[in-house]
Amino acid sequence: MSSNQMSARKALLYIFKAAPRSFALMAHMGLLNGAASIMSVWATQRIFSHIQAGYGAELFSSLAVYAAAFLLSAGYSVWYMRYHVQFFAILDFESNVRRMLHAKSRRISNEDLETPNAYAFIRQADSSRQNLFRYGQIYVEAVMTLLQTAMVTAYISSFNIVFLLFLPLSAIPTLLEMLYDARLWKRGYETVTQCQREETEYEKAVMDEVACKESRLTGANALLIKKWKNSRMKRDAIENSKSKKMLILKLSLCLLECAGSIGGFAVSILLFFLGHIDLPAFTAGVTAYSSLTAILKGLTGTVGNEIQFRRMIQPYFRYWNLPERGGESDQCTFEKSVTLSDVSFTYPNQTGKALDGINLTIHKGETIAIVGENGAGKSTLVNVILGLYRPSSGSVCYDGANISKVKEAALHLRQSAVPQSFCRYKITVGDNIAIGNFSKQDGKEIEQRIAEIFPNGEVGQNTLLGKEFGGRELSGGQWQQLSCARGFYKDGDFIVLDEPTSAIDPLREKAIYGSFQKELHGKTGIIVTHRLGAVKLADRIIVLQHGKITESGTHKELLAANGIYASLWQTQAAAFSD
Contacts of 524 (CB under 8 A, 6+ apart): 334, 338, 362, 363, 364, 365, 366, 367, 493, 494, 495
The predicted structure's pLDDT at residue 101: 83
pLDDT beyond 60 at 60: yes
Q: In the prediction, which pLDDT does 117 show?
A: 60
Give the containing element (helix H, strand E) for 551: strand 548-553
pLDDT at 50 exceeding the cut of 80: no
492 pLDDT above the threshold of 70: yes
Fold of the domain spanning 337-577: Rossmann fold (3.40.50)
Q: Which amino acid would we find at residue 33?
A: N
The predicted model gives 314-341 an average pLDDT of: 83
Looking at the chain, the domain(s) classified CATH 3.40.50.300 span 337-577
What does the alpha-carbon distance between residue 462 and residue 430 come to, in Å, rounded to a whole number?
Answer: 6
DSSP, residue by residue, 474-503: --HHHHHHHHHHHHHHT--SEEEEESTTTT
pLDDT of residue 577: 58
DSSP string, 9-28: HHHHHHHHHHSHHHHHHHHH
Q: Per-residue pLDDT tens for 365-374?
A: 999 999 988 8
State the pLDDT confidence band at 1, using cuts at 50, 70 and 90: very low
Query: Which of 557, 480, 549, 546 is closest to 516 using CA atoms?
Result: 480
pLDDT value of residue 115: 64
- CA dist 477 and 500 (Å) reads 10
Task: Judge contact between 481 and 453, C-beta under 8 A.
Answer: yes
Residue 125: how many CB atoms within 10 A of its CB? 22
**Whose CA is closest to 491, among 536, 446, 424?**
446
Q: What is the pLDDT of residues 221-266, one digit of tens each?
A: 888 888 889 999 999 998 898 888 888 888 887 777 777 667 767 7
pLDDT for 509-558, tens place per residue?
Answer: 777 777 888 888 888 899 998 777 778 788 999 999 999 999 999 988 99
Summarize the confidence of residues 14-28 as an average pLDDT. Answer: 92
358 phi and psi angles, rounded to 5 deg: -80, 125
Closest CA to 170 of 298, 297, 267: 297
Q: Output the pLDDT for position 251.
A: 83
Closest alpha carbon to 246 in 179, 294, 191, 307: 179
Side-chain-facing half-sphere of 91: CA atoms under 13 Å: 5
How sure is the predictor about 14, in pLDDT bands with cuts at 50, 70 and 90? very high
DSSP H/E element including 398:
strand 393-398
Pairwise pLDDT comparison (361 vs 323), residue with the higher score: 361
Q: 110 pLDDT exceeds 90?
A: no
User: Under DSSP, is residue 371 helix (H, G, I), strand (E, B) or coil?
Assistant: strand
- The residue among 306 and 386 whose pLDDT is bigger is 386
Neighbours of 162 (CB within 10 A): 15
Average pLDDT rounded to a whole number, residues 276-290:
73
Radius of gyration of the chain (CA): 35
- Over residues 303-308, the mean pLDDT reads 76
pLDDT score, position 384: 92
Predicted pLDDT at 187: 80
**pLDDT given at position 167:** 65
Statement: residue 503 has pLDDT above 90: no
Q: Mean of the per-residue pLDDT values for the chain?
A: 83
Give residue-wise pLDDT tens across range 144-200. Answer: 888 877 877 777 777 777 766 666 666 677 777 777 877 887 788 778 888 888 888
The confidence score (pLDDT) of residue 343 equals 95
pLDDT band for 2, please (50, 70, 90 cuts). Answer: very low
Nearest to 489 by CA among 470, 455, 462, 461: 461
Q: What is the mean pLDDT of residues 41-51?
A: 80
Stated as kind and residue range, the H or E segment containing 368 is: strand 367-371
Q: Are strands 367-371 and 540-545 parallel, antiparallel or unpaired?
A: parallel
Predicted confidence at residue 21, as pLDDT, reads 92
Of residues 181 and 432, more confidently modeled: 432
- Tell how far CA 89 is from the center of its chain: 20
CB atoms within 10 A of CB 505: 9
Confidence of residue 578 (pLDDT cuts 50, 70, 90): low
- Residues 65-104: pLDDT tens digits? 889 988 988 888 889 988 999 889 999 998 898 888 888 8
The confidence score (pLDDT) of residue 118 equals 63
Helix, strand, coil percentages, rounded to 5, for the chain = 65, 10, 25
Cβ(355)–Cβ(345) below 8 Å = yes
Average pLDDT over residues 476-487: 89
